[in-house]
Amino acid sequence: MSDFSATPELILLPAVDVAGGKAVRLTQGEAGSETHYGDPVDAALEWARQGAQWIHLVDLDAAFGRGSNTAILRKVIKHVRGVKIELSGGIRDDATLEAALDSGAARINLGTAALENPEWAADVIARYGDAIAVGLDVRGTTLAARGWTREGGDLWTVLERLEAAGCSRYVVTDVTKDGTLRGPNLDLLRQVTARTPKPVVASGGVSSLDDIEALRSLVPLGVEGAIVGKALYAGAFTLAEALDVAAG
C-alpha cells in the first residue's frame, strides 16, 4: 500500500460536452445518443465547486460539423475561475485555433485536423507547444475522425508521425467504451505509453472508483490524467470522492 501511496496524483478532468447549447453525454460518440444534463455553465461550476483543477470542455456540434457553441463555451470559461480548461471540438484551422486560444482555454485538444492535415498540425505543435494536445480516438487500432464518423488511419503510424512533430501530450479515447460505463481500456493505455514518453490523458469508460484506482496505477507508466463524464452525471460517485482516490 505504501508503494501505491507514493504514486503521483492522477489528474481528473470532468467533462462538459456541449450540443445545442446544453450539457450532454453521448454513448460511443454517436450523434442522436445524447442524454441532456442542463446548462453547461452550471455543470462546470459544480465540478469547480467539488475541487476540479481541470475541465474538459467539448463543442460536439463543431466536432460533428453541424454548428458551433462558441458563445456558450466562452461563457463557461469566463464563469469558471481558477480552473484550467482543455477545449476540444471542431478546431481545424488557424482561425478556429486562434479563437479557441483567445477564449481563455489553457490547452487545446486537436482531433480530426491532426489526422487529416498533418502539416498544419505539425506547425501548430511547433508554434504552441504544451498548449496543444492531440486526441487519439480509437476503435481497435484504427483512429476515428470527424466526430468519430470516419476512419482516420492507423494509431501507431499516426503516433509515430506526431512524435516526430514533437507533440507534447495525447488524449487517448477508446470510442467503443466512451459513455458506456464499461471501464477504461487499460491495455490500450499501456500500449500507447510504451510507445511515447509524453504524458497521456485517458478517456472513455470510467464507471467506478475502482476504475480511477486502476488508472492511477498507470501513472508511473505515463498516464497523467483521466477524463470522467457519464459516471459523474449518472451519480456513480462524486467528483470529490474520485479526486480523493486519484490523489491517493
All 3 cell numbers of residue 8? 503521483
Identity of residue 54 = W
Catalytic residue, chosen from 17, 61, 178, 211, is 17
Q: Say how far residue 141 (Cα) sits from the centre of its chain.
A: 18
Catalytic residue list contains 211: no
Of 61, 137, 174, 211, which is the active-site residue?
137
Is 3 one of the annotated active-site residues of the chain?
A: no
Q: DSSP secondary-structure letter at 8?
A: P
CA-based radius of gyration for the chain: 16
Considering Cα of 152, then 202, then 125, then 66, what sign does the dihedral take? positive
DSSP H helices, 68-165, are 70-79, 94-102, 112-116, 118-128, 155-165
Amino acid at 168: S
- Catalytic residue numbers read 17, 137
